[in-house]
Amino acid sequence: MSEQGTTVVERFESQVLKGNPLGDPHMREIPVYLPPSYERDRSRRYAVIYWLHGFTGIGLSSINRSLWAPTLPELMDRVIADGAPEAVLVMPDGSTRYGGSQYVNSPATGQYEDHIVGELVPYIDATYRTKASPSHRGTVGKSSGGYGALVLAMRNPDVFGAVASHSGDMYFESCYKPFFWKALNAINKHSDLRGFLKAFDAMPKKEREATEALTILVAMAMAYSGNSDGTYELPVDVKTGEMRDAIWSKWLEWDPVYMAERHAEALRKMKLVYIECGRKDEWNLHYGARVLSGRLKALNIKHEHQEFDDDHMNIQYRYVESLRRLAQVLA
């Protein structure tokens, strides 16, 4: 039987998330996986992989057991047993009361990029025996976490030296825009946006229709088109459904497809750029991955793009592909 790592849960008090506009907790529970030899070999230092959870997830989601889906620590044990170098795995919490932060700084949600890059990374390096340099530090995630991994890596090449994305949000024209009007139907059942949010907050059980509306429209608007006073604007008129191009253009500035050219040098520095998606993805994210891959090719950025005969949900078996690659290039 192969050796297993251990997982500790850090209760991390964030200073930058204190007083955030949504009133979300600044105390976050963050699982940290320590590889099998960590306690035994006290002189050894390890590369670090930061795993970013998807929308409506939390940091602890990554270690929750289920009948058929392995946890992330179990997947790390597996790739190490198969011969990958040992690494520390950190699982931050980027959740908000409306589903997620997209791991960006926004005046409407809070400073989540600063939380991870400016607070959590230095804390992990000071607390654990890590190889504290970008060449030994990578980031990866699924869905909104895959999006966050790409954005954090592009914007912070002095922190992260490798990146992987599973079914990440990208090419917003295909993954967000087609669902706007379905979201408006849900919102307009409650007269206006304020009424919808009030009803959502009061729901004892979050309905899928309501969650989709928040995913596509409200939570993303909070992330991508927040105003300096803490308010935010939607890229579509709630009543008429007409696109508001000035607001939509703010969203596109955060789309990895369009960010790639602005951050081409950062991406060229990466030891790994790995992008994957299922070709039956319910959010059309396979098209976004194809578009991004094409942009990266045009920019002569080395990367790997894979597709699976699968959809968006329950894809834990695919995570071993990124974890193995990251552990190898970061070692």
Helix/strand/coil for 78: helix
pLDDT band of 232, cuts 50, 70, 90? very high
What pLDDT is attached to residue 103?
98
Query: What mean pLDDT do residues 147-151 have?
Result: 98
As a whole number, the mean pLDDT across the chain is: 96
Query: What mean pLDDT do residues 275-297 have?
Result: 98
End-to-end CA distance of the chain: 24
pLDDT band of 172, cuts 50, 70, 90? very high
Q: Reply yes or no on whether the pLDDT at 251 is more than 90.
A: yes
Q: State what percent of residues in the chain have pLDDT above 70.
A: 100
Ramachandran category for residue 274: left, alpha or beta (phi over 0 → left; psi -120 to 50 → alpha) = beta
- The residue ranges of every structural domain in the chain are 6-171+255-330, 174-252
The CA-CA-CA angle for residues 169, 172, 174, to 5°, reads 100
Query: What mean pLDDT do residues 24-34 have?
Result: 98
What pLDDT is attached to residue 14?
98
Q: Is the pTM of this model over 0.95?
A: yes
Q: Reply yes or no on whether the pLDDT at 1 is more than 60.
A: no
Ramachandran category for residue 153: left, alpha or beta (phi over 0 → left; psi -120 to 50 → alpha) = alpha
Q: Is the dihedral of CA 185, 188, 193, 194 positive or negative?
A: negative
- With tokens 């251990």, the residue in question is 6
Ramachandran category for residue 20: left, alpha or beta (phi over 0 → left; psi -120 to 50 → alpha) = beta
pLDDT band of 203, cuts 50, 70, 90? confident
Do 181 and 187 contact (CB within 8 A), yes or no?
no
What pLDDT is attached to residue 173?
97
Helix/strand/coil for 276: strand
> CATH: 3.40.1400.10, 3.40.50.1820, 3.10.590.10, 2.40.160.20. Which one for 6-171+255-330?
3.40.50.1820
Tens of pLDDT along 59-69?
Answer: 999 999 888 89
pLDDT band of 214, cuts 50, 70, 90? confident
Q: Reply yes or no on whether the pLDDT at 121 is more than 70.
A: yes
What pLDDT is attached to residue 318?
98
